[in-house]
A and B are shown apart, each in its own frame.
Chain A
Amino acid sequence: MTSVPSPTLTVAVISLSPEKTSVSRFFTTGRGGHHGHVHPGNHEFHRGDRIQRPPGGGGQGSGDGQASDRGEGADEFVFQINRDEFLEYLFDDLELPNLLRKELKDSTDYQLKRAGFTTAGSPDRLNIVRSLRAAHARRIALSGKDRKVIRTLKRQLREMEVSPDPVDQQQATLLREEIKLLNKKLKRLPFIDDFDLRFNNMTRVPLPSSKAVMFCVMDVSGSMTQEIKDMAKRFFLLLYLFLERNYEAVEVVFIRHHSEARECDEHDFFYARETGGTIVSKALLLTHDIIQQRYPPGQWNIYIAQASDGDNWGEDSSTCTNIILDKLLPVCQYFAYVEITDRHHQNLWYEYATIAESYPDHFAMQHIHSYLDIYPTFRRLFEKKEGSHVGR
């Protein structure tokens, strides 16, 4: 899975419907009939010279003065898109089933989120603007009475000052004293108080897991030819790209099995050949063990994709069903099984079919005959299931 396309990708998309790529947008004359052409740059011809008709018949040459300048006839339509756009197109209208059903109570990741303001907290969360605003309000509230008194006194003082009466003058001096006192009292109000402090409040919000792990389970027994493996690889790659679009981090675990199962790297997974019988349940058990050890379902979205040619040791199939039902389906988001064969189905298929019936949301199976089926199959597996089918 390391061979993911580079960030920019040139793709030729020739996807307009036939009438939109028609040879010409206008009625034009075809070949045949009587034409005349005039060309510049003569240096060898004389009147009456005869020239071999170019192969492909006469009619319109490349430049007969009738060539249109409208750029018509461009039916092969190529343009560049980047990787994201390409994937968008590739996975248009597909969705990951059960993407949002990961329950929050399982999650162990948290993010701190702002949640208003509190009156208590650590100094690093101090909200200065809010604190000063509170202080201001407090000062206004506590000084209200005194300021009212000052205002009345000042009014009286103005009246006294203009009066020529010496008694009034004395009164005025008294008033001034009183105002001074009150002003001093106002000044004594603390500018900021513990009571005013406001702190940013943060709460811990559990985060839904954005990590996914994809288990690729493949039969590598003798009956799986290189061609079948190649098809399986393409299918896995598609799934990987799709998961990668939906999750921040996607890990891939390769499990190959014949009569024994083991985890391996990508190269061994696709290229190493082994012979032996086929016991699928071993691989499923190993998957379960790895999930238990390394990928706790609370933190990981688990996807399992199994590819096989349908061979299995007779009595093993029912064991597989039990493992899937009891151990895998409860923890994984989705289990996809593709059978790559052009023979008749064997008992593994029928066993799985019963699971698919009872768990249509979490289990899906498809049958691939040839390369051409891979993409359509993939689309069938992940097409939007309920309602709202918008677009083309």
Chain B
Amino acid sequence: MLAAEAPERHTVRREKPLSTGSEWTFELLDLYDREFARLADKFRLDTYPNQIEVISSEQMLDAYSSVGMPLMYNHWSYGKTFLNNQQNYQRGRMGLAYEIVINSNPCIAYLMEENTMPMQALVIAHACYGHNSFFKGNYLFRQWTDASAIIDYLLFAKHYIARCEEKHGVSVVEAILDACHALMNQGVNRYIRPAPVSAEQEQARSREREAYIQRNLNDLWRTIPVSEPPQSRQDERFPKDPEENLLYFIEKNAPLLETWQREIIRIVRKVAQYFYPQRQTQVMNEGWATFWHYHLMHEMYDEGLITEGFILEFLHSHSSVVFQPAFDDPRYSGINPYTLGFNIFRDIRRICEQPTEEDREWFPDLAGSDWLDAVHFAMQNFKDEGFILQYLSPRVMRDMRLFSIDDNDINPYLEVDAIHDEQGYRQLRENLAALYNLGNREPNIQVYNVDVRGDRSLTLRHYLHQRRPLDRDSTHELLKHLHRLWGFDVKLDSVDQDNIIHYTFSTESTSERKEQVQVTSKKRVNP
């Protein structure tokens, strides 16, 4: 526990705890929030202003279903998730998360009204100071999202989509949204920073776009013959460079879409982009928030602001949050990001304060330095992949008893290629970090070519990573979605590093052929 790790403390014990019972009141929430704010200040947690809302479990389910966002536009899939969650919750199969927090300015956190005071305090510490400071501090969020605009933007999106439903019918809008949602993960820019969104600008821009297109839709001009440009080289592709953002490409280039359809694609794209940093920092974000709720609560306890019963209830919840079943446990479902993140952050502090010989060897810069500086630096400058690569210490690997398995379909067996021992640490760390690399996790699909002069068919390329093929059933379905947006045939080739096509999916016949690598008639395509 913290008390053992932090020998020097200059806190004053107070006589009277803030509260004793388990019931919460709004005054108490306020009181706790102020105390947390004071402590957060002490630990240099820089946050957006907090907006704490207390909601019922029903509303929490509702928020759950719309990917945690209030004001999300309407779509059937949210209703479906809602029903599913509701069922599970009513049958006691699923406990609700204690909180939902939204990366916005002010940062909105939802507490559930059924929770006890200790739980509410935990959630305030976790969400309003942990997550909130992460949203404000981490470089990905700073560069990629604009916290002050998101609520406005979602409001704009909701209204826009509702208006489209009125104007064009629910089912058409639904079809577009279905298709866009399917391509959401392929709808983000990974390298180019998006311009921050703002609702008013966005509205103005959308009107402008519409007006511009209206102005240019002048049939007179269409009849004027255009002199044929000299026949361009057949092998010049459109787009010239492969485009990674499928939704962006479709929004800008699909030949048959109406303006409002493009606008909806744009909305989904923006929302996907907004969530992109969250998907890349799950371990860090949760780890950071868990680390701080743990610290803040102990700090409160040390100051005598909370009672022993209170801290015990807190510890119980905390330990179930960071519970990590072993791989052979029936409850096991992958590495718990809370646990991993929490362990790494806590270990950073340990390395700073009580370094061992091993730590001095592995983290010469860290050992003995100021722990608060160290954790803040780690929080601000990494995403999951880099964070694990930089900070996963041998001690955490040993404590969690991590091991790595190599699953290569060439071999008839699985091989344990690294475990938590001297030879395995580096390999293990690299393997784990690679798992959090979105580039590895999600198939890399890019727009490769459009047959501009022919049948306007769209060719996508899936760049095989370690020979991992696409899932066949879902790929067919998704190509249908793509076809709906593009309006013409869509083809998807899976190619390896040498540009040899291994699999082809197509909407023309939905047939699929697999060319064995060994077959001599390899198909060479110019890169």
Q: Do A and B bind each other?
A: yes
Closest to A80 in B: B87
B445 touches A27 (CB 8 A): yes
Which residues in A have their C-beta under 8 angstroms from that of B434?
A: 36
Question: Within the assembled complex, what's the spacing in Å between the Cα atoms of A63 and B76?
Answer: 29
**Across the interface, do A32 and B413 meet the contact criterion of CB distance under 8 Å?**
no
Tell which of B76, B420, B475 has the most Cβ of chain A within 10 Å: B475
Contact with A along B103-125 (1 / 0, CB 8 A): 00000000000000000000000
Interface residues on A, range: 35 or more
B435 touches A27 (CB 8 A): no
Is B150 an interface position by the 8 A CB rule? no
- Taken residue by residue from 107 to 126, chain A's Cβ proximity to chain B (1 for < 8 Å, 0 otherwise) reads as 00000000000000000000
Q: Does B329 contact A (CB under 8 A)?
A: yes
Give the contact stretch, choosing among A50-58, A193-201, A310-318, A339-347: A50-58
Question: In the assembly, what is the distance between CA of A67 and CA of B412, in Å?
Answer: 23
Closest to B429 in A: A38
Q: How far is the CA of A59 from the CA of B77 in the complex (A)?
A: 28
Q: Which of B324, B464, B466 is in CB contact (< 8 Å) with A35?
A: B466
State the majority secondary structure of interface residues on A: loop
Residue of B nearest to A54 (CB): B414
A18-56 residues with Cβ-Cβ distance < 8 A to B are 18-20, 22-43, 45-53
Contacts of A32 in B (CB 8 A): 409, 467-469
Q: Count how many pairs of residues, one from A and one from B, have CB atoms less than 8 Å apart in the complex.
A: 204
On chain A, the residues within 8 Å of B332 by CB distance are 39, 41, 62-63
Query: Are the CB atoms of A36 and B405 closer together than 8 Å?
Result: yes
- With a CB–CB cut-off of 8 A, which chain B residues contact A33? 409, 464-469
Tell me if A79 is interfacial: C-beta within 8 Å of chain B: yes
Please name all residues of chain A whose beta carbon is closer than 8 Å to the beta carbon of B87 when the two chains form the complex. Answer: 78-80
Among B24-32, B137-145, B254-262, B477-485, the stretch in contact with A: B477-485
Is B84 a contact partner of A47 (Cβ separation < 8 A)? no
In contact, A47 and B424 (Cβ under 8 angstroms): yes
> Are B403 and A39 in contact (CB-based, < 8 A)?
yes
Task: Point out the residue from A41, A67, A79 that lies within 8 Å of B326, measured CB to CB.
Answer: A41
Chain B residues contacting A30 (CB-CB under 8 Å) are 468-472
Q: Is the CB of B471 within 8 A of A47?
A: no
A59 and B407 within 8 A (CB):
yes
User: Which one of B86, B404, B414, B415 has the greatest number of beta carbons of chain A within 10 Å?
Assistant: B414
A38 touches B403 (CB 8 A): yes
Known: A49-B415, A51-B416, A58-B414. A37 touches B474 (CB 8 A): no
A34→B405 CA distance, assembly (Å):
11
Q: Is B423 an interface position by the 8 A CB rule?
A: yes
Interface residues as binary, B77-89 with A (CB distance below 8 Å gives 1, 0 otherwise): 1001101101100
Chain A residue contacts of B436, Cβ below 8 A: 65
A133 CB, nearest partner CB in chain B, Å: 48
- Report which B residues bind A (CB closer than 8 A): 76-77, 80-81, 83-84, 86-87, 178, 181-182, 184-186, 324-329, 332-335, 400-410, 412-421, 423-424, 428, 431-432, 434-436, 441-443, 445, 462, 464-475, 477-478, 480-481
18 contacts between A and B (CB under 8 A): A24-B473, A28-B442, A34-B468, A36-B404, A38-B402, A38-B435, A39-B402, A40-B335, A42-B420, A46-B416, A46-B419, A47-B418, A47-B419, A58-B408, A63-B335, A65-B435, A71-B84, A74-B84
CB-based closest 8 A-B pairs: A41-B326, A33-B468, A30-B471, A63-B334, A34-B466, A39-B327, A24-B474, A22-B477
